[in-house]
Amino acid sequence: QEAKDALTMIRRERITASSYAAYLKKHSAAIQSILASHLRTANNSDPFEIASALKELTAAKDVEALAAAHNAFNERLDAHLTMLVRLSPR
């Protein structure tokens, strides 16, 4: 369902602040579940404090704070994934 909703969102001509906030709120449980699964796979290693970024994301009170927290979450997750790929045996 998350993928279907994401495609619907990006196919719109214009994503409004309220639709962006509503999308993230609607899918926050899925984001939390995906992150928990990722961290379990990484032996609960969270050197970039992704879980902390997710807490900030879910606690954001306005769309500007939400966007900033979403960006921080994505950057930390990307850094962690990049680190894991570079450390993996080839």
54: number of Cβ within 10 Å: 21
| Tokens coding 6 | 């994401």
Would you mind telling me the total number of residues written for the chain in this entry? 90
CA distance 73 to 25: 15
CA distance 2 to 11: 14
How much is the pLDDT for 80?
98
pTM: 0.87
How much is the pLDDT for 6?
84
CA distance 30 to 2: 8
Question: Per-residue confidence of the chain (90 residues) as pLDDT tens digits?
Answer: 888 888 888 888 788 999 999 999 999 999 999 999 999 999 999 999 999 999 999 999 999 999 999 999 999 999 999 999 999 988
- What is the Rg, in whole angstroms, of the alpha carbon atoms belonging to the chain? 14
